[in-house]
Structure formats: C-alpha cells, structure tokens
A and B are shown apart, each in its own frame.
Chain A
Amino acid sequence: MKTIADLELVGFFRQLASDYDIRVPVLLPDGGRAFGSIDDGALALGGGALPTKPTAVFFPQDDTLFAQGSGGELLVPEHSRPLFIAGFTALDLRCLKFIDRFFADGFRDDVYFRTRESAVVATVSGYCGPDGALLPLANGDCDLEFIALRGQWLVRAYSNKGEAIALLIPGEASADAVAEVGALAAIVNPDEEVIKAASALLLVDAVPDSFWEEIAVNCIQCSGCNLVCPTCTCFGVQDWRYADRLERSRMWDSCQLDGFMREAGGHNPLGTDALRTRRRIHHKLAADMTKWGELGCFVCGRCDATCPTGIGIVAIARQMVAQYGSFQAG
C-alpha cells in the first residue's frame, strides 16, 4: 500500500493529467463541491459524497448519440483522453456497478461504455466524510482507493491500471497504517434497514393506492429526484437539424413527468401523480429486486436532499413502514 500526503495530492493529479482527463471533487465558488477539472477550484477530495449524480461522468445529462453530415455520413464524437475520476464513495461505487451491469446487459450500450471502459475510477474512504467522519472502505470494485487517515491518504490499487498509477507514488504506507485500515469498523446506515423494510412491503403488495395519493400531492414534478439519482438511467431522445448536420442526442428523463409514458394516442399508463410516485419508489425497491435480485437504491440520500418538498425515497420509506408495519426481507 502507498501513502501520499494531503498537500501532495494536487501535484499528483496534475501529473496524471498528461495521460488522463482528470475529474476530482473541487470546491465551487458557492461553497459546494462537485466533480471538476483540477483547475476548476481547490481540490476537495474530503467532505463525503457529492450532492449530484456521480455517474453523470459517464452518463451526462445531454449526450450526443451520433451526428450525421449533410451527405448522410456518420460523425461520432471524438474520443477524448481516458477519464481519471477520483471521489466516488464506496456507496457510489455500488451504484456504478449497478448501472455498469444495466448498460452491459442484453444490448451493450456503447455510448455509455465509450467513456466508461477506458476510465480509471478511484474511490475515497476512511476519515474523509463530512467533518472528517468515517466513510466505508471500498475493498475492490474500482481501480484505486484513497483511504484518508490522519493527514495522509493510503492508496490501494485493485487493477492493472490502478497499479500503474500507484507506482507513481513514492511513499510506502507503514505497517501500522495498513493495520489500522484493516481494523476500520464497518459502517451501518440505519436508513438501509428502513429501505429494506419498505421493499418487503412493496413486494407483498401491502401498500394501498391511497398511500401514493397522499404522498404525491406534494410532488411539484421538478424531476430532481431522478436527475440526482446515481442509478437512474432513463433518457429521452432529441434531434437537432443544423444547416450542415443532424445531431441526435439523449438526455435524462424523469418518470415523475406526465409525458414520460404518454403515448401518441393520449393513453397514459402513468397518468396521475400517484401512479408516477409509486413507479419511482416501486421501480427501485420492488421491480429492480425482481429483475436484478438487488435493490436499485443504495440509500445515498441524494433524492431526499434535492426534493423541494421532502418526499425523497427515505422519507417515503419511513412513512410507509410507520403506516403499514415492517416486514423483514426474506
């Protein structure tokens, strides 16, 4: 295991910039944090999960599918240098894994893998949460892991690409530090239990329609819950015809919108606020469970933070469990 001091990180990432397009958490002018290039603001690797969709680095809000010249010839976006992303939390990583599988399953989504495949993903863990709180270890599923421990970052590699990068770091971690990392406690998120209980309720169909009506009256259809979710992948398609070319792009869509499933003839299987709110929660907690054997919500808290009226998935799950009792999964 390698070690690098906090102050050396910027230099290290700069060094990588010759081979990679760097995305790291930076401090924004409004005091928030987000993925940015190394020169977009002060490096802010610590501070916990970023508030917006971390998987947007591979699946941006608006992404060109292809362009076509006036002669009909296909133009595909130039491949930029591979991405190096540091700043996923272990939780974000589970979300990434979830959508990696989604995009690979059946028809492989080459537009997603265009950037995903060549990317290097580095996780952050250890004492780098909000106010120095402990974040869970990734223990794999990424190329590199940066583990914060008293002013230093221990660096662990899990892939060849990760190894190659770790080699650039001269410092070797001390045996004590390695032992300390080994002894870090697992972290239990109490909300995860609530989500599981809610999932169990939905899977046995124990939640009546009236519940969804009660919740949905609060929804202002901002679409934010979907747009910050690391595992939401729905998109719409748009064509723009310029004088010299056609551009077809896809952009994030939201199942909280009436037009999401409205058909040309006007029929709409999701035609009410209540049906749409049910679909949002049901999809993550029941449908994904049935399809993938795994919940589609990893309880990152983003939708609860962005929802202007406070009906993110955890808030709803809490109310559901309070009203309809708790079932133990399995």
Chain B
Amino acid sequence: MKRTLTVCPYCGTGCMLHLLSEGGRLIGVEPSSTHPISRGGLCIKGWNAFGFVHHPDRLTEPLVRKDGVLVPTGWQEALSMVVRGLQSVQARHGKDAIMFASSAKATNEENFLLMKLARRVFGTNNIDHCARLCHSSTVTGLAETFGSGAMTNSIDCIDRAKLIFVIGSNTTEQHPLIGSRIIRAVNKGAQLIVADNRRIRLSRHANLHLRHRNGSDVALLLAMMHVILAEGLEDREFIAARCENFEEFAAIARDWPPERAAAITGLGAEEVVAAARLYATSPAAMIFYSMGITQHSHGVDNVRAVAALAMLTGNIGRPGTGVNPLRGQNNVQGGCDMGVLPDLYSGYQKVSDPVVREKFRAAWGGGPLPETPGLPLTLAMNAASKGQIRAMFIMGENPIISDPDQSHAREALQSLELLVVQDIFLTETAQLADVVLPAACFAEKDGTFTNTERRIQLVQKGVEPPGEARADWQIICELARHAGSQVMNYEDTAQIMAEIASLTPAYGGVTHQRLAPYGLQWPCPSADHAGTPLLHTVQFSRGKGRFALIGYRQPAEMTDARFPYTLTTGRTYFHWHTGSMTRRTHLLHREEPKAFVEINPVDAAAIGVRNGGLVTVASRRGELTVAARVTGTVPEKVLFMPFHFMEGAANALTNNVLDPESHIPEFKVAAVSIRRGQ
C-alpha cells in the first residue's frame, strides 16, 4: 500500500487528501486530518477524487486524424504533426494566427510552461484559459480598485467574521468546505446575508435572504451604499486614510435610493435598508462572491460595486472581513498567477511593459518576445470563425460544452486548419481535433496548485499514467524540443518552480521544498517570507483603494413577449464543469445522472409539466429538451440549468455577449421561452 498527500482536483477550496494505492491502483482517499481548510473532512467530490482515474475511457496513446477518423499513433509523429502544423499556419498567416488555451486544471508549472511555449517558442501572446469564463471580471475589477485580483482574506477568517455576506455564490455546492464553514460560523452566532434569487442551502441559514432579479446586482449594491451614506454608517476614517475618488463615487451612490433600486431588483426597499444596516454595523463583515457576480455583461461593474461596499465600511485589511471572490477551479488562481492571460506574464506583469519583457527575454535565453497583447479566449473563438485564428492548441479544456452559444463554438473550432487537444479523456472537443495528446491526470504527476485563498500547495504523483499518457509539462517540453528550441529542459517540476520564483515576485520565495505540507499563501517574495494570509492590511496593493465609478446597465438580453423567462446557468454539487471526470465517477454520476432544468411550480403548472416531465427550452440561439425539476428553489419566471451535460447542454442557449472590459460571457442571464417537451 502507498499513500500520497496531494490536492483535491476539483474546486478552488484546495482541500488536501491522501491517495491510497495498492499495486499501482488507487483504492481510495483519506482526508488530511490536519489541513487548515479540510480539517479532516472533504466534500463528496473530494471523497471520490480517485474514482475516474483508472476509467477505461482514459486516453492511452496519441491520436491523429487520418481520412477523417482519429487513429492511434506514436508520440514522435503526433508531436511533429503538431509543431509542423502550428509553424506552417504561422508561416502563411502570421505569428498571431494561432491560439493557445491553457487549463485551470493543470499545475502552475504546466501553465507557466505553456505560457513560455506560446510566447518564447511560438512568438505569440495569444494565450488564455478558462478564467476568462469565470473570474476575468474579478481580475480586472479588483486590480483596478485594490491592485490585486484575489481573495483579500483567508478561509480561516470565516471563524472570526461577525457577519458574512454571500452574493452570487452557491457556496455549499460549489465550495462545499467553505460553505460548511459558513454554516458552522452561523451556528456559532455569526450573521448571514444571502443575495441570490435561488433558494440555495445557505439561504436557509440566513438572517436575510435577498432574492433580487438576475443581473440587478449593481442596483442592489448601489442602493445599499446609498443607505449607508444616508444614515452615516460609512467608515469615514478608513475612507480618508486609505481610499481615493470617494466624493465622485458618493455622488453616484446618492442617486440610488432604495426605492429606485426596488423597481430594478424586485426587492422591497426595506429589504435593501435592512441589508445595508446589517452589513455596515457589523464589526467584521466578510463578503463572498462568485460567478453570480462575475458572469455578466457588466461583470466588472459588479465587482467594482462589491469592492466599494467593503471600502465604504472599512471592511478590508482586517481578520474576518474582506472581499473574497471564490475561484472555481482547483488551479484557476494559479493559472492567472502564471500569466496564461493574453496581456500578462506571470505575477500580473504586463506584456506591454518593456522592462518586464526585457526581464523575461534575458531569463529565457534572448530572442524577441511579442509586444502587443493577444486575444482573450472568447474573442479568439470569434476570430476563428472569421478565419483570423487558423490553429488552436487546447490543453485540458472542453469549450464545446463550457463556452457560451455552443453551435457558435463548434463552428469556430471546425473552421480551424489545425486543432490540437491535450486531455485525459476524448472529450466532445477532443473528438473534433486533428491531433489528440494523452495527458496524465492530477493523481499521476507532480507540481503545485494555488487555491482560492492564494495558497500554493504541492501536488504529488500517486500512480503512473495509463499507457503512453504523459504529464502535461513533459509534453510541452517535448513540443518545444520538436520546435527546435532548447530553452525548456527540466529534470522535474521543482526546477520549473525555481524559474517561476525567479521571474514572479509574488512567488519569489516559493520552492517545492518549502511547500510541505500545506503550502504558502502568496505574496511570498523571499525565501525567509512566511506568506501572506491577509492582503491590504496597511495599504492597498496599488497604494490607495480606488472607488471606481459605475453605473447600472441591464443584462444584454431582457425578457420579452417571445422569450418571457430568464435562464441562468451554473453547476450542481455532484458534477464538475463539463462532466468528463465526474460523469465517469460512479457515485457522482449516480447522484445526478442527467440534464435537468429547475422550474418553479407555478410555471410548470402553466405549461402542464410535472416533476420529471420534459420541457423544451428555447433561446435565440438554440433549443433543447430536458427533464423538469419542479422546485421552489427558483422564483417564478426564472429557470436554472447546469451546464455539465452534453445531451442537454445549457450552453446551446446562453448568450455570447461579453463584458466590454473583461470579455466574460453573460452566462447568468439569457431570455428563453418554454413549452412542454415531447
């Protein structure tokens, strides 16, 4: 028997667990009994994290498309096909005709290497990852207001908060070990405000549950701030000492009496007043938000409003307070940190900054680095359908299911000259590829993941990958060598981390050795630095906290006579994103075996559908038929659909309209019609 301490591959909470194996085969997991977050527990996904690893569907050899079908081949042929293909496209259409999509499921080391491969070896800044689809609004919004787009506080702070304000996060389902921590805090006396129009589990513990209309967050938050200012509940000392641009901002907020917001949010004015008072009078109030805030065409404004609320009341820089975006994927924080973003190197260093470029150029053995920022993932899809992007290299993502407006995404990928997909399963996206490279999964490789509280933790190999599959970092290094580059030769992932540390100030003091057992929270600038559980204690990362100016904009697509229902999308507790792992995990699949749409009993009655019956949901982009889950969880006229299921893919319906600054799609609001399905 062998046990390996590693990090859960699912959500950004970053619980650690031991993988148990016997003769090279995983036989179970055990939670780490001493880990500061998991504390001897795990959620259902963590407890089943080993369940897909040896699945017969795992990719075990490279595949290439010959006469229209994918056939097995050797690594040499596959790799040279990839490199020749990418180079040929670049030769004919320019360096920026190719796009790299990295993965929030891959390690920091792998993300860093793919970033290096794109920029150094292939000379393009066209690299991005799924953070574009989840928290790009956070990165943009919080960088502008605070100077750092990450959770300001730590999960441990929940125990010290007196009030917790959860907005746009179904925490017990999406970050279960954070959600459960919130429940515990509430049972011990903390207050809880939940703003979410679904009746999520946390709402049953809340002192106040605000069921505001989808996409009306800015109005709600501005009105709360109006009340705070009108009643003199703001923290004037904090504002004067720590913030800037207050007066200009206050003028906007004063324009938003609760009555005005009421018309937009559908809440009573008194609910907004109550929420404002509860939040502003608490000695330590902690905000948690997630995709209910970010995935809007005004996602960045939502984030700015949340940040303003915390600054207005001085709820930042102290234990038990802060603005805490919960990052979805196990390593989406790390993906951003590693600079798999079109405009940033690792550590959020701008590609447009010549000093930064020179630093990377020197460290990477000379050679020019591209100067202009590349394309965000969401725009790259558009560019592909227009023929501006001709080849794509996708590592560990499944955009066919995860991107908005599925038929558009499929069309874009099909129009490419070359599509390379590196994955552990033959996902819906990989099925379209010209070359498929088999990768190792989390249990089969070493490296690090960075969780939502900026904690960099060690991932360790428990078993060998199946067949010919290799770790992503090894494949990337091979690709570089095939492209004739000698700048990517590493013995192991610790060596890659050494390079990351040397180039990334916030990771400056990080070595694999120092990460045992529970990692370090960045910023950790030097070898003697113990990491930073709490940001912005004395001053904000950017100096003064900035009150950004915002205005309310309604969602891009509002309901009308033809599409009278609002569709919002998300995930369920048992599945992970496109389901490639969880739908192959016995217990998780059993719990949630098929696609469904949540519908209020009144609406269900109106179209004559019973629980479990079929409903056809149609938007301007497509339609599909799924089973109805008739429930008061959703209010009338609102539908909720998870996006995990290929056979009932919510993203066939969603609206591919983007926030103008973060380019995040509006997954949370689309106008749809419903009828009884056949």
Contact = CB atoms under 8 A, between A and B. Distances in A.
The answer to A–B direct touch (Cβ < 8 A) is: yes
Interface of A: 23, 28-37, 40, 51-52, 56, 60-63, 217-218, 220-224, 227, 236, 238, 240-243, 251-253, 257-259, 266, 305-310
Interface of B: 1-3, 5, 16, 18, 20, 22, 26-35, 39-44, 46-47, 50-51, 54-56, 172, 176-177, 179-181, 183-184, 187, 201, 204-205, 516-518, 573, 586-587, 590-591, 612
A253 B28 contact: no
Contact of B42 (A35, A224, A241, A242): A224
A30 B41 contact: no
Contacts of A217: 201, 204-205
Given A36-B3, A222-B43, A60 B516 contact: no
A29 B4 CA distance: 9
Given A217-B204, A224-B31, A251-B586, 17 more contacts: A30-B33, A30-B35, A34-B18, A35-B1, A52-B33, A62-B27, A63-B27, A220-B179, A220-B201, A222-B41, A222-B47, A224-B41, A240-B55, A257-B44, A259-B591, A307-B41, A308-B176
Given A36-B3, A40-B2, A227 B47 contact: yes
Contacts of A306: 31, 40-41
Main secondary structure of the interface of B (DSSP, over half): mixed
Contacts of B34: 30-32
Please list the 10 inter-chain residue pairs (A to B) with the smallest Cβ-Cβ separation, ordered nearest first. Answer: A61-B28, A308-B180, A32-B33, A238-B586, A30-B517, A259-B590, A51-B33, A308-B41, A259-B591, A52-B30
A222 B1 CA distance: 25
A28 B41 contact: no
B628 to A, nearest CB: 12
B637 to A, nearest CB: 26
A251 B587 contact: yes
Nearest to B45: A222
Given A30-B32, A30-B517, A34-B18, A266 B612 contact: yes
Contact of B518 (A30, A51, A227): A30
Given A259-B591, A306-B40, A218 B183 contact: yes
Nearest to A57: B1
Contacts of A309: 180, 183-184, 187
A268 to B, nearest CB: 12
A51 B40 contact: yes
Contact of A29 (B183, B187, B517, B612): B517
A301 to B, nearest CB: 11
A53 to B, nearest CB: 9
A310 B27 contact: no
Contacts of B33: 30, 32-33, 51-52, 305
Contacts of B612: 266
B573 A28 contact: no
A1 B109 CA distance: 56
Nearest to B178: A308
Nearest to B592: A259
A31 B41 contact: no
26 contacts: A28-B3, A28-B5, A28-B18, A30-B34, A32-B32, A37-B1, A40-B3, A51-B33, A60-B27, A61-B20, A62-B51, A218-B183, A220-B43, A220-B180, A220-B573, A222-B42, A222-B180, A224-B31, A224-B41, A224-B42, A236-B590, A251-B587, A252-B28, A257-B587, A306-B31, A309-B184
Contacts of A28: 3, 5, 18, 32
Contacts of B30: 34, 52
Contacts of A240: 54-56
B184 A241 contact: no
B586 A222 contact: no
Nearest to B180: A308
Contacts of A222: 41-44, 46-47, 176, 180
A223 B517 contact: no
Contacts of A51: 33, 40
A135 to B, nearest CB: 18
Nearest to A37: B1
A2 to B, nearest CB: 28
A319 to B, nearest CB: 11
A324 B514 CA distance: 52
B187 A218 contact: yes
A37 B20 CA distance: 12
Contacts of B41: 222, 224, 306-308
A217 to B, nearest CB: 5
A154 to B, nearest CB: 28
B47 A223 contact: yes
